[in-house]
Amino acid sequence: MIVRLLLALVLLAGTTAQAEQGGDAARGEELFNQCSGCHQVGQGAVDRIGPHLNFIFDRAAATADGYRYSASLKRAADGGLVWNYETLDAFLENPRAIASRTRMSFRGIDDQQDRDDLLAYLRKFSDDPQNIPESAPTAAAVDHTVAPEILAIVGDPAYGEYLSGECTSCHQTSGAGEGIPSITRWPADDFVTAMHAYKVGVRAHPVMQMMAGRLSDEEIAALAAYFEQVEE
Amino acid sequence: MALQRRTFLGVAAATAGTLAAPMVLAQGKPRVVVIGGGAGGATVARYIAKDSDGAIDVTLVEPTRAYYTCFFSNLYIGGFREMNALGHSYGGLAAGGVNVVHDWAVGVDRDAKTVTLAGGASLPYDRLILSPGIDFVDGSVPGWDLSAQNAMPHAYKAGSQTELLKAQLMAMPEGGVFAMVAPPNPYRCPPGPYERVSMVAHLLKSVNPTAKILIADPKEKFSKQGLFEEGWANHYDGMIERVGPDFGGANTSVDPAAMTVDIDGEVTKVDVCNVIPAMKAGRIADIAGVTDGNWAPVNAADMSSKIDPNIYVLGDASAQGDMPKSGFSANSQAKVCANAVRGALTGSTVFPARFANTCWSLIDTNDGVKVGATYEATDEKIAKVDGFISATGESADVRAATYRESEGWYDGITADMFG
């Protein structure tokens, strides 16, 4: 199946050496930086904001063990969506074209070569899984270090639900969104870390710096607790 | 005065708390009536229904079946949005347990605690929430009144007025003049008139590039002024002239029959004229007797009226302090109010008030800017805590991202309002 689709692509795209391999995996690894805020791939990869991407090729959609998928992606899976070169390529080009209300807050990649390269990189972790390189896990959604005692605070989801009113003027509880990213069902640690990064100004967005700036540690924990378990 | 009021409210709150349970038993569910289905009213109705889980009977009174958002309606003029993309139905609210009544509220009996509808029905309430938006102050622009709104549209309530203004702009003769009479403070959507000028300029630049834009403005300064003026110089150089109060902009009258604008004695013949008059609270706030002057004063902690503790006023109609009159503000105030009303009627936890606002404006294609602030409740008013504004000279990438963000916000707030 993959081979046939790749062949078809080669025929369409011409016959450069790179196209025959379906893309440049080394370049794809660099391009993966724009994914690694939410997705891990490679040895030790675990679900974060998005599911891990090991063995993604030929996997039925919405079936990574333990990851809580959006209702929208589950519906797509019920409709028979399987991740292969063609469907992943379409998903990367425009995530909303495949499933309109997922938490994949990503605009998509217009450039075919970029998508080819990225998929070539991802394929390394599906083709030959017992041979995953011994590299450090790719960067998680953690661009800031938060003290363990702050991460240890147990948030009150009821208070978080009230506070979430400040978030839902922009961020949709359903997890849908373009231009404004999804914040539902994030692992609490990632949520807390991101909010503290805004609070101290490590993350740059002025609205978020302002909103996070007046949230106490307990309030951030409450929001994280609420959004981690919110029903879509 | 302020001390008296607090004492009185304290007593009222304590009474509501102790009587809540027996009242539920004696009279069935507590009843909330919301008048006005915009950013304040739709949000507060949805949140009370959602969070009380059926324990409170919520009725929303809104005359129109399709609500067209005033926010983003300038983008329709500029050609960035279709009118139908600004329209929202109340189906989501009805599905969420809100009893939606399409009628005009024409009377409020504060002693009997009932609302009278134009259709004749009478709705009893335990708490009444008014979110009626704005009406115009008679005589604020001499020569203009509502009967002139077809000749000189205000287009400051979205829908047919917005469509009329755009149709007039499209029909403008080559090299014609578009005039705007800008409103005095305070008014709905502080950057709105200037975003509108930007969108009109964008439209005219493509269909009528020699046309001119004239603004008569009674205000010294306006929202995001530096950003707009920078953008106008960048995108629409030489097209826009603004006459502020230093050159008589506050002394403006119009003649809708002759299509002239008189700025401090200098009469200009114009082709399209957008008159945005001075504003006041929507009429039902006056009828309910909760206004003081043009607006309805409220307590910052819960948006309750300073005149009647069983009535709350949200959004543009309220005089609350530092927040701008915006859809975002109304949505923010609605959630504080929903939490307080629910607490008063069912004894649920009331969390401290907190408010926020952000306003995005589009200057030209992919040139978006924003301003925002956070607020807290003090004894006197809703007071600003912290804020930010886009910088002049930002990169095209930042401006494009800001515009994309504003589109995301539109989807977010309308989902938050209408479910």
**What is the per-residue DSSP string for B162-226?**
HHHHHHHHHTPPTT-EEEEEPPPSS-BSTTHHHHHHHHHHHHHHHH-TT-EEEEE-S-SS-TTHH
Q: Are A177 and B408 an interchain contact pair (Cβ–Cβ within 8 Å)?
A: yes
Integer Cα distance of B44 and B82 in angstroms: 27
Residue A35 forms part of a structural domain:
yes
Residue A136 forms part of a structural domain:
no
B237 and B160 in one domain? Answer: yes
Residue B415 forms part of a structural domain:
no
Residue B176 forms part of a structural domain:
yes
- Of the listed ranges A11-15, B76-80, B219-223, the least confidently predicted one is A11-15
Q: Judge whether residue B276 has pLDDT over 50.
A: yes
Integer Cα distance of B303 and A149 in angstroms: 37
Which CATH number characterizes residue A202's domain? 1.10.760.10
Residue B411 forms part of a structural domain:
no
Neighbours of A177 (CB within 10 A): 25
- Of the listed ranges A22-26, B61-65, B78-82, the least confidently predicted one is A22-26
- Please report the pLDDT score of residue A141 as a whole number: 42
Percent of chain A with pLDDT over 90: 28
B83 and B34 in one domain? Answer: yes
Integer Cα distance of A159 and B65 in angstroms: 34
Residues contacting A151, CB < 8 A, separation 6+: A189, A192, A193
The CA-atom distances, in angstroms, between B211 and each of A162, B58, B143, B151, B171 are 50, 50, 25, 19, 12
- Please report the pLDDT score of residue B142 as a whole number: 98
Considering all CA atoms of chain B, what is the largest pairwise distance in Å, rounded to the nearest integer?
71
Q: How many domains does chain A have?
A: 2
Cβ-based contacts under 8 A for chains A and B: 89
Measured between beta carbons, the chain B residues lying within 8 angstroms of A209 are 388
A190 and A118 in one domain? Answer: no
B327 and B257 in one domain? Answer: no
Name the pLDDT band for A22 (thresholds 50, 70, 90): low
B144 and B252 in one domain? Answer: yes
A206 and A159 in one domain? Answer: yes
Which tokens is A193 given?
A: 């870390």
Residue B244 forms part of a structural domain:
yes
Integer Cα distance of A111 and A92 in angstroms: 10
Residue A60 forms part of a structural domain:
yes
In terms of residue numbers, what domain contains B237?
138-275
B245 and B178 in one domain? Answer: yes
A168 and A114 in one domain? Answer: no
- Name which of B51, B403, B405 to mutate to probe chain A: the one with the most chain A Cβ atoms within 10 A of its Cβ: B405
Q: Are A180 and B47 an interchain contact pair (Cβ–Cβ within 8 Å)?
A: no
Q: How many domains does chain B have?
A: 2
B244 and B160 in one domain? Answer: yes
Q: Judge whether residue B13 has pLDDT over 60.
A: no
B79 and B146 in one domain? Answer: no
A153 and A126 in one domain? Answer: no
Residue A141 forms part of a structural domain:
no
- Name which of B50, B69, B336, B413 to mutate to probe chain A: the one with the most chain A Cβ atoms within 10 A of its Cβ: B413
- Please report the pLDDT score of residue A232 as a whole number: 66
- Name which of B46, B80, B342, B354 to mutate to probe chain A: the one with the most chain A Cβ atoms within 10 A of its Cβ: B354
How many Cα atoms occupy the beta-carbon half-sphere of B402 within 13 Å? 28
Least Cα distance to B339 among B330, B349, B329 occurs for: B349
B148 and B56 in one domain? Answer: no
Domain end call among B275, B310, B328 = B275
A155 and A127 in one domain? Answer: no
Q: Which residues of A touch B (CB under 8 A)?
A: 107, 158-159, 161-163, 165-166, 168-174, 176-180, 206-207, 209-211, 213-214
- Of the listed ranges A126-130, B186-190, B411-415, the least confidently predicted one is A126-130
Q: Are A159 and B351 an interchain contact pair (Cβ–Cβ within 8 Å)?
A: yes
* Pairing mode of beta strands B99-101, B57-61: parallel
- Please report the pLDDT score of residue B125 as a whole number: 98
**Residue B354 at interface with chain A, using a CB cutoff of 8 Å:** yes
- Please report the pLDDT score of residue A66 as a whole number: 82
B207 and B105 in one domain? Answer: no
DSSP-derived 3-state class of residue B97 = coil
Question: Does residue B250 contact residue B155 with C-beta atoms inside 8 Å?
Answer: no
Q: Judge whether residue A188 has pLDDT over 90.
A: no
In terms of residue numbers, what domain contains A218?
148-229
CA-angle at A178, arms to B405 and A172, nearest 5°: 90
Which CATH number characterizes residue B43's domain? 3.50.50.60
CA-angle at B237, arms to B80 and B388, nearest 5°: 65
For A74, the enclosing helix (H) or strand (E) is helix A71-78
B153 and B119 in one domain? Answer: no
Question: Does residue B297 contact residue B307 with C-beta atoms inside 8 Å?
Answer: yes
A119 and A86 in one domain? Answer: yes
A164 and A118 in one domain? Answer: no
**Residue B406 at interface with chain A, using a CB cutoff of 8 Å:** yes
Q: Are A178 and B407 an interchain contact pair (Cβ–Cβ within 8 Å)?
A: yes
User: Rounded to a whole number, what is the distance in Å from the CA of A155 to chain B's nearest CA?
Assistant: 15
Task: Judge if ipTM > 0.90.
Answer: no
**Residue B286 at interface with chain A, using a CB cutoff of 8 Å:** no
B14 and B65 in one domain? Answer: yes
Which tokens is B123 given?
A: 């709705």
- Please report the pLDDT score of residue B27 as a whole number: 59
User: Rounded to a whole number, what is the distance in Å from the CA of A177 to chain B's nearest CA?
Assistant: 6
Q: Are B372 and A170 an interchain contact pair (Cβ–Cβ within 8 Å)?
A: no
Which tokens is B97 given?
A: 């347990």
Q: Judge whether residue A21 has pLDDT over 50.
A: no
Q: Which of A115-129, A186-200, B283-297 has the highest mean pLDDT?
A: B283-297
B243 phi and psi angles, rounded to 5 deg = -105, 105
Residue of B nearest to A204 (CA): B398
Least Cα distance to B282 among B306, B304, B313, B323 occurs for: B313
Q: Judge whether residue B25 has pLDDT over 80.
A: no
What is the distance of C-alpha A166 from the center of its chain?
A: 24
Residue A104 forms part of a structural domain:
yes
Integer Cα distance of B301 and B306 in angstroms: 11
A127 and A153 in one domain? Answer: no
A114 and A7 in one domain? Answer: yes
Integer Cα distance of A80 and A78 in angstroms: 5
Mean pLDDT on A46-57: 88
A43 and A80 in one domain? Answer: yes
Residue A90 forms part of a structural domain:
yes
- Of the listed ranges A41-45, B134-138, B202-206, B298-302, the least confidently predicted one is A41-45
A164 and A49 in one domain? Answer: no
Mean pLDDT on B109-117: 98
Domain end call among B348, B379, B409 = B348
A106 and A32 in one domain? Answer: yes
Domain end call among B275, B300, B323 = B275
List pLDDT tens digits, range A189-223. 888 988 998 888 877 788 998 999 999 999 999 99
B142 and B245 in one domain? Answer: yes
DSSP-derived 3-state class of residue B232 = helix
Residue B172 forms part of a structural domain:
yes
Q: Judge whether residue B115 has pLDDT over 50.
A: yes
- Please report the pLDDT score of residue A95 as a whole number: 86
Residues contacting B19, CB < 8 A, separation 6+: none
Integer Cα distance of A122 and A29 in angstroms: 8
Domain end call among A83, A100, A131 = A131
Residues contacting B248, CB < 8 A, separation 6+: B263, B264, B265, B266
Question: Does residue B59 contact residue B98 with C-beta atoms inside 8 Å?
Answer: yes
Name the pLDDT band for B235 (thresholds 50, 70, 90): very high
Q: Are B411 and A165 an interchain contact pair (Cβ–Cβ within 8 Å)?
A: no
Question: Does residue A55 contact residue A126 with C-beta atoms inside 8 Å?
Answer: yes
- Using CB atoms and an 8 Å cut-off, which of residues 21-80 of chain B contact chain A? 47, 51
Mean pLDDT on A83-89: 85
